[in-house]
C-alpha cells in the first residue's frame, strides 16, 4: 500500500495531494495564485515561483496531517511548464524525499492529466485503465489527443495555434471578464442563447486529428469590435455562441477520432473538461455511439496533485524512480 505525496507547481497553482496505493485520493489541496497575478492580466513566471515557495510548506504540512497514514514515496511534476515554478516543486520534493529517505518520481504533467480520468474524490479506489482509450487533454496550455493502447501512449494530433482553454481566456479578456476565463465564460454562457450569435466552427480536415482555435477567438474579437455599443447586453449570447462553437468542434472530433481508431473508450481531461456544456455534449454523443466516457470530477480537471501522485505511483511499481538532482523541462515531450 504505497501512499504517495504528490506535488504540482507547473504553472499558477500550488497543489499537494496524498493518494494511496489503490488510487484513493485521501487529500487534494490547492492554493490558487489568481489574485497575485490578476493585476497583470496573466501569469507572471517570477511571481509564480515566489508564490509556490510560500505555499508549499503549509500545503505539505496540512496534507500530511490529513493523510490516513505515512507517505512512502514522493511524485512531482517535472514539466512541461514554467521553469522557475517547476524548479521550486522539484527541489522541494527532492529535499523532502532525501530527508525521509523516500523514493522520488518525476512525472510529466500531461501524463498526470491523462491519469486523472480514472480518479474520484469519493474515497473510492481509482478505476482500472481500459486497454485502449482515446484521450483529449484540453487545458490552458495544451490541446492534444492521445491514443493510449495497452500502456503505450501515442500523440495523434494537437492544436496548431491556441489551446482550447487559452481561447476561453482570450475571449474573456476581450469581454473584460478577467483571467482565467473558462469558468466565467461558462457561467455567462448559461444565461445566453447559443444560437443567437453563431461563430464559425474550425474543423480543419473534418476527420483529421489537428485543430485550431485562433479563428474562433478572432471571430469573437471582430464581432465585439463591430458591435461595441451593444456588448454589455449581448455578452451572455456572445459567450454562449463562442462556447458552443468550441464544444461542437471538440465533441465532434473526439467521437470521430474514437471511431477512426476503433476505440470504445474516450477520456476528456484538463481544465476545459470542467466545462459543463462540453461534459454534457460529449456524454450525449458517446451514448449514441455506445462509447464509454471517462471524465474526472470537476475538481480534478484543472491542475491538481492527486493526478501527479497517481501517475508517479504507476512509475514506481514499474521500477522507475528519479534521481534527487532530477531536472525540469518547459516544453511538451510527446
Ligand atoms: O489544466 P489547467 O488547470 O491548466 C493547464 O494545464 O493549462 O487548465 C486551465 C484552463 C484555463 O485556460 C481555464 O480558462 C480553462 O482551463 N477552464 C475552463 C473551465 N474551467 C477552466 N474552460 C472552459 N470551461 C470551464 N468551465
Ligand atoms: Zn494542466
Query: Mean pLDDT, to the nearest integer, of 227-255?
Result: 93
Quick one: pLDDT band at residue 334, thresholds 50, 70, 90? Answer: low
Distance between CA atoms of 111 and 153, rounded to whole angstroms?
9
Q: Does 135 have pLDDT greater than 90?
A: yes
Q: Does 205 have pLDDT greater than 80?
A: no
Query: Mean pLDDT, to the nearest integer, of 248-268?
Result: 94
Distance between CA atoms of 215 and 297, rounded to whole angstroms?
30
- Is 173 touching ligand 1 by the criterion CB < 6 Å? no
Q: Residue 8 CA: which ligand is closest?
A: 2
**Domains of the chain with bracketed CATH:** 4-121+300-317 (3.30.420.40), 132-296 (3.30.420.40)
* Contact call for residues 184 and 169 (beta carbons, < 8 A): no
Q: Find the range with the poorest average confidence among 116-130, 223-237, 249-263, 306-320.
A: 223-237
pTM for this entry: 0.96
Q: Whose CA is nearest to atom 17 of ligand 1?
A: 182
Q: Residue 112 CA: which ligand is closest?
A: 2
Q: What is the CA(158)–ligand 2 centre distance, in A?
A: 15
Give the pLDDT of residue 95. Answer: 98
Query: Mean pLDDT, to the nearest integer, of 135-149?
Result: 93
Q: Find the range with the poorest average confidence among 93-102, 124-133, 148-157.
A: 148-157
Q: In this structure, are strands 265-269 and 292-294 parallel, antiparallel, or unpaired?
A: parallel
Q: Does 85 have pLDDT greater than 70?
A: yes
What ligand 1 atom has the least distance to the C-alpha of 81? 6
* Contact call for residues 119 and 25 (beta carbons, < 8 A): yes
Average pLDDT of the chain to the nearest whole number:
94
Query: Mean pLDDT, to the nearest integer, of 103-123?
Result: 97
Amino acid at each position: 500500500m504505497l501512499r504517495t505525496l504528490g506535488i504540482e507547481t507547473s504553472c499558477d497553482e500550488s497543489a499537494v495531494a496524498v493518494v494511496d496505493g489503490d488510487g484513493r485520493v485521501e487529500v487534494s489541496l490547492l492554493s490558487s495564485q489568481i489574485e497575485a497575478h490578476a493585476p497583470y492580466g496573466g501569469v507572471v513566471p517570477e511571481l509564480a515561483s515566489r508564490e509556490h515557495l510560500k505555499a508549499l510548506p503549509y500545503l505539505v504540512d496540512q496534507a500530511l496531517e490529513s493523510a490516513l497514514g505515512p507517505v512512502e514515496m514522493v511524485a512531482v511534476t517535472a514539466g512541461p511548464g514554467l521553469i522557475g515554478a517547476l524548479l521550486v516543486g522539484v527541489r522541494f520534493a527532492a529535499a523532502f524525499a532525501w530527508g525521509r529517505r523516500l523514493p522520488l518520481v518525476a512525472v510529466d504533467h500531461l501524463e498526470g492529466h491523462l491519469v486523472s480520468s480514472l480518479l474520484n474524490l469519493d474515497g473510492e479506489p481509482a478505476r482500472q485503465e481500459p486497454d485502449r482509450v482515446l484521450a483529449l487533454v484540453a487545458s490552458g496550455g495544451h490541446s492534444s489527443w492521445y491514443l493510449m493502447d495497452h500502456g503505450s501512449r501515442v500523440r495523434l494530433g494537437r492544436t496548431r495555434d491556441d489551446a482550447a482553454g487559452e481561447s476561453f481566456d482570450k475571449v474573456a479578456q476581450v469581454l473584460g471578464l478577467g483571467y482565467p476565463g473558462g469558468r466565467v465564460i461558462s457561467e455567462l454562457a448559461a444565461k445566453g442563447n447559443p444560437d443567437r450569435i453563431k461563430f464559425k466552427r474550425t474543423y480543419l480536415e473534418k476527420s483529421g486529428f489537428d485543430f485550431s482555435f485562433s479563428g474562433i477567438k478572432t471571430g469573437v474579437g471582430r464581432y465585439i469590435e463591430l458591435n461595441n455599443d451593444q456588448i454589455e447586453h449581448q455578452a451572455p449570447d456572445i459567450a454562449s455562441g463562442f462556447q458552443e462553437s468550441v464544444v461542437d468542434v471538440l465533441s465532434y472530433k473526439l467521437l470521430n477520432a474514437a471511431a477512426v481508431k476503433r476505440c470504445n473508450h474516450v477520456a476528456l481531461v484538463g481544465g476545459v473538461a470542467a466545462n459543463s456544456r462540453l461534459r454534457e455534449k460529449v456524454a450525449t454523443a458517446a451514448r449514441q455511439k455506445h462509447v464509454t466516457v471517462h471524465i474526472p470530477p470537476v475538481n480534478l480537471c484543472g491542475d491538481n496533485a492527486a493526478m501527479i501522485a497517481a501517475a508517479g505511483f504507476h512509475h514506481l511499481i514499474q521500477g522507475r524512480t528519479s534521481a534527487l538532482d532530477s531536472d525540469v523541462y518547459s516544453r511538451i515531450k510527446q
